[in-house]
Structure 1
Amino acid sequence: MKRVLFIVVGLILGAPVVGQESFRVELGRDGDTIEDMRPVFLTFETRPLPAISPAEVARRYQQLFEVSDEPEVRIDALNRLGNIRDRSGESIGFSPEQEVAVYQQALDSYESILAHGSFTGRLDELLYQMAKAHALTGESEKSINRLKQLVGLYPKSPLVAEAYFRIAESAFASAEYAVAETFYLDAINTAHSSNAGHRAGMAEKARYMLGWSQFKQGQAAWDRAGKTFCQVLQERIPNTSVLESVRDTDADTIDDTLRMLAVMAARQKGGDSLIAWLGGKSELKASHGETGSRRWAYLAFDRLADYYAAQGHFEKSVEVNRLFVAIAPDHPRKADFMAQIAAVWQLAGDLPKAREAKADYVEMFGSDAGYSSLQMAEQARWQVLSRELADYFYYRGTEQKQQDVAGYQASFQKAGTYYFGVARRQAQSGEVWRLAGDAFLQAGNAANALDSFRTAAYDIADYPEAADSGWAAVAVLRDHYESDLESVTAESDRFAMAFHDDPRLPGLMVFVARRWREQGLPEVALAYAGKVLLLEHSTTPERYAAWVLIGNVRQETGEYVLAEEAWTHALQLMEAETWPELPEGAEQQVRRQLAGAIYQQAEHANATGKPILAVGHFHRVEAAMPGSEIAIKARFEAANTLLQAAEYSDAIPELISFRKAFPDHPLAGRIKDKLVFAYTSSGQPLSAANELLAGIDLERDPWSIRLRAAALFHEAGDKTRRNELYLSYLKTGPEADSAAKHLELQTIRNRLIASMDDPGRLRQEMVAQEMASPWHSQETLAWSARQSLVMGARAAAVFSSVQLMQPLAASLDRKQSALESARQHFLDAESLGGEAVRSESLYRRAELYRTLARDLMASSVPEELNELEGMQYQMLLEEEAFPFEEKAIGLHSDNHRRIAEEGYDPWIGKSMAVLARLNPGRYDRSVRWMSWTKEDDDDAS
């Protein structure tokens, strides 16, 4: 009955929890003794297993142990309880306090069974339980002996592995580490060769303690310990997924194992020791791959680096991190190691090296591929480090620039590069883009600055400072690419389209307009200036600037009416309100431009044949800029325009008014000539002459003006005032130094001679000057010849008036002297007048001789002569007179012969009349004189 009970229960405990067919266990009512218990029946059915807990089964065995008096039953029940606890993994059965008491009681049963040799169960279990009982009762040596007995008698028992483990633990506790190492190895080997799967965890514990046993033996055994601990980690962390859900029981072991590896490696060769324990560099390189067997290896390097850092060995900590990255450059945890380098230097307080490490981290994963390889948290860290570096170099560049330290641009370039890297990997990165642009700009990298500002302005949605960034882009182009005006304009247009309400836009349009004007494209300049006027938020100064630009462009392109309109608007803006930005003298400048536009309209009208319209515009200039130089000039030009248009009646009062209003103006000095011209042209020579003589004493060369006035007096018929000026001038003794001057002086003399009663001296001067002058003209020669003839005629009259009387010699001398004087004048006249006066000269000279002959013949005979003597005297006179008469006939004949060459004139006629009287046979005939010109083929002689 009892035996059947043990077998049935054993079947229940030994069966799997879930089988192909279900079964139901029914237990009888509890009895006070085993005899009272009802048997257990097994009913196999195709139904689910009943829900019987291991705790209920354990309770039954516990009860059996307590009520049975048989050692075998009690020992078997105790074994069953142990098996249930081991297999279920639950703390069931006796409490620790109870268990000590129970095993104390069980020792007697063990000893009894061994003494009688009547145990029907497994003796290995019995020995194991005895060892356990001794251990629980504090008899460690006996416990170990029983375990040694167990491994010696039953080497194939499933309990051997645990026995070895217990023996090893005892040796370890006794500091017998070499012994402990041996038994731990035996425990591990036995556990691996055993099919007792429920003892696999014991092998892991043995491996862990094996490492400790080796560690405790000193550095000579640390290589074995390092490899052992690596195996411990390999068993506890077969793959990286385990790290995400490590059991509490394993966490401490893993942590302690890593700590021990770090301690040993730090005391030996550091990372190189780890490499050796982990199987070499090639094993590590593959440890993170798909088939890598040591994918946890990075934890060892991480713990070693931490250990160094905690001990203050910062450089060694960094070396370990760098060593792992160098060995496994493609490891997914590489970013953590690179970041840890920066953290170590940060902990060490070495900020430059920390920054360098951060820079290495950022650079290592800066490419798109590198950044994509990072986990989300690592990417966030990359962004944080990049931003820290960017901020640092920006601040550094700012300080260097303020202190005028060379190299500040390099700092700003680095800052810009880091900002750029962060910005392109953030969604709402407008501010970072703007900082990148600013840094690049201060680094002198205008191209990158422009790209960054553009991105912040136009590519980042809802960025509050987008307008400022757009403005910065415009500023970069304006300041660094000013020659590329098309790009500046395109950027300005883009800004205007995106930020049409920005208060800076009107000023930008003014700038663009000005630049296009400078480039010689006025139409484009006008278009942008017009945009300023269309913007509602344009300020008064901006509108003013636009109108000024429009005015300048219109004026430059000759659109003076539109220019006047623009300048008028600009002036109205200035007069409407006061604004501090207005440059000093701006109002005067605008007025000057307005006056200039009106003035140019006047000039245009005058040039196109509209003088009256031009005069009207000239008069409007005064209203635009009263009292200004241009207004004065406009008044002058108004008069001048009237003068040019022959509107003398209007021009003269304008000129007079101008001189009266501006007597000291330089233009007033030109009024005299213009008035003279106006008076002269309008038939008022007397007024012209008076104008010339007004203020004559102040002139540098008054006589030239007086002579002009004299000429005008001559024209006006005022010979008196003319002659006064001429005579005064001649008294100054002017000398001819040119043909023109000679003609002028001879003209003056000629006019004086013609209007004076007794101009004898002037005649002599005229002839003398003409005879002596190297310059002659037809006029001066004719005038001088005429005056010489006049003087000859007067001398001839004197000659005629001299009477020959006794004594004849004396009177004859006077008469001959008068004759010579007259004859010389006539000869001078011929030399001056030539053929024009020769007829008259020949006639007059002939008459001189004929008169002398006649007077000789008519002279009285001396009274003292008798009649015969008187007759002889008369004959002598006739002989003396005859040559003179012949001379006269000869000269008249010469004159007569001139007909053939020069033609007939009155003086020739007079000579012919005289010849007719003197030689009537030859010359006294009726003749009709005709003009005749000898031809080349004429046979006339």
Structure 2
Amino acid sequence: MKRLLGLVIIASIQLQGCSYVGLGDDGRGKTLANLPEAKLPDTKAKVAVLDVARIEQSYQRALAVADEPKLRQQILVRLADLEMARSEKAQLDATDMRRFYDKPVAMYSELLKLQSESAAPVNGIAADQLRYKLAKALSLDGRNDEAAQVLDQLANTNPDSGFMAETQFRRAEKSFADGDYAAAERNYAAVVNGNSPELKQNALYMRGWAQFKRSDYDLALLSFAQVLDQLLGSAATPEQVDAVLADIGPSKANLVKDTLRVMGLSLSYLEGAKSIVSLQTELGSRRPYEYMLYQQLGQLYLEQKRYTDSAETYQHFVQHNPASDFAPSFSIKVIDVYQEGNFPSLILPAKQDFVERYGISSSYWTSRKGVIGNNSLAYLHQSLQELAQFEHAQAQALKLKNNSEAMRAFARAAKWYREFVQTFAKDAQVAEMTFLLAECLNEAGDLPAAMEAYEQVAYGHMDKLRGADAGYAAILLPQQLIQSARSLPDNRLEEWQRRKIQNALNFADVYKTDPRAVVVLAEAANDLLQQNSYEDAKQIAERVIQWQPAAEGSLLFSSWLILGHSRFETKEYAAAEQAYMQVLNLLPVYGKNPGAPSVQQVQERIAASIYQQAEASLTFGDKDTAIAQLMRITQLTPNTEIAAKAQYDAGVYLIEQEKWAQAENVYLGFRKKYPSHALTATLPAKMVLIYQNQNKWQQAADELVVMERTSTDPDVKRQSLFMGAELYEKSGKRAQAIEQYRRYATEYPRPLANNLEAQFKLTELYRASGERDKRNYWLQNIINSHQRAGSAKTDRSTYLAASAQAELAQPAYDEFTRIPLTLPLKNSLQRKRAALEKALKAQEQVLGYGVAEFTTDASFKIGEIYAQLSRDLMASQRPKELDELALEQYEILLEEQAYPFEEKAIEIHQANAQRSWKGTYDDGVKRSFDALAKLLPARYNKTETRVEVSNDIH
């Protein structure tokens, strides 16, 4: 009985398909031992055997006498259902193995046959329901292959059946059990895409297994991911996943676990962690359970003792999820894997990576304001000490062997010391770590950072053992940087000088009895000067001069020099001049000292002081006094650079006062005295201005020629050439102007506006010189330049091109009007027509530009061409041999030929005249009105009547 019950339960599970189908790690599926405990049907729902027998006997008797097919089908349906119920009870009560459902199978089969013959539902029951019942009977009888065939028929013949979801699920499970995973995948997919929510999740899960069995791991991952999406979909972030797992219950939680396990297997068969990224890309957005995939895969590799793969999986998560809350624990897992796998060479780099990712310098730390968890913080404390000690020991060992390698090792040790100090500022070891940091930085050649660390030891921690030496080192280090690292940015040099000064002042205040104090103070004064702290430099220099016991002479000399420079910079120019005189007095004794200025340099400073006095006069608006002071510099110190600049500036101020003649003399003198000076190259532009204001056009043009020849700036050369042409034209030098304009038009096609203006100037100059062919050439060139301009065309270029086209069209118009119609008329008319076409084409080209001024003129001329042709026809020679009648007929014929042209002329002139309605009333429109007055005098040759209007009130 137990064996029979087991078979019934198996059949029931295959038909209903409502439970989750889980597979083991080997993919063979669960056994009978995994099935839930069997439950018998509710006895209250049974039908009494006696009642069923009586009903069946009634239906059998009715069936024996029924002739009508429809009635017979109705009876068969009732009998088949009764037989189905009888067979189910018999199977439950049986103690042996045999077939119980032959009768209902036969009856449902007959019903299907009858329905196919009648093509109508049996007693209102459709074929899909009959096939469903038939398949159920076959399945309960263990005839699974036959049941599968019936389900296939149902699926093929009734795709929209309400039983389709369960049918496809049964077909899928049959295919899966038979090892036909491709068919199983298709049928599970049909359930997934159907409208049966209660089967969809099971089908999705099993579709993934079918794909897994087919080794289609990519598709399997997508299916399993959808299962997780359904189960964990309410988790918006990874941190919410655990709460969702607790809420969904043990059964679904186990399904999540099984799904992750098979996904881990799939990923291991693909590209591991890379496939997780591919999966996320395929899904379109990152899932909150992503970290679980990495965790599952990493653990799987670890269980398989694939340590490298396991570590790389955790690393891959960290690399692609650096900001995740799980990132630190995954990084620790990497280190744990290396330790378990006994990879000592990888442990230290892994710890280094951990510190760099989650330490105080990391964005991870910054974004969380240091709140990274106690476990991670403790790991940082331990790792930083281990890394610093290891690198420091390595550096000490390398120091005697390889200096460059040792420096790099010291730098690495300093990095970890610094991070320890920054991370654990209140730690008991911080003072010692700071000193070790300074030592390592110094050995590594990072002097700025070492200086800062020494400052902290000397003046922050006030370390009694190392404070004095650390303080003096903080002065020496910036000096070394200033002397040996001039190639670095100036702002860093200024910072080091400033730090050196402050450290020197601190040293002098804290260690007053130290014999190095006065020397440090004198150097601080010089450094203050270099940092432009002139007020402080003056105070310190005066302090050194007044130092007791008196400082030695070289310190006094440098202090006087510092005092002079500082006074100059604070605009005490007279006092600065006096200080420089003190320096000149001491130069014979101390002028040979390193860094001492030369006589020439001191003279330059004196000249600069005078120059600044001139600047002060300018500030007060006294330009005359300023000019006199500037010219005095050229007399007192003519060999200084300032003298040249002073004379140049004097010319500038004369120009500002519009003293053109004096400015001309100053600059001509400058050009003669300083022919090789850099400022000499700038004189042509100023001389142009001076000459222009004196109406010396040719001299100004000559200066522009010099500018165009000597300048390396393309824009200056171009502008000088054009402006020079204008000035030559203005001075009456037509040949030079033509040459300049021609060069400009040839060499500078852009900008288009200037190029066209140059060409226009050439046409005007050639008009004046009477060189018609050259004028026509440039007129045509204007047209060509405009046509080639493309998007650079402007209203001005269009106007110039239209003007040029109008002028070039005039000869064709004139030629047409000059041709008379003589005998033989055919020949002269042929020439006339050819001239007409040429003239019309030329005028139409003018119209194409759409410029009103030329459009109205061209329209007038086109009208006149037709009017002229009409007039010429009427004025043509008549054959002499015609008698009076023939001549009259000839006249009529001519009028018939001339009339259309006159009408065409009237039409064109009227259209042109109508432009006045829109506000255009230029010469072309006026001339069309005049032409119409002659052509249609009754309409257009009327006298205007003026009506007087009175505004008086009557």
Output the TM-score relative to the length of structure 1.
0.42
Larger RCO, structure (CA 8 Å, separation 6 or more): 2
Output the TM-score relative to the length of structure 2.
0.41
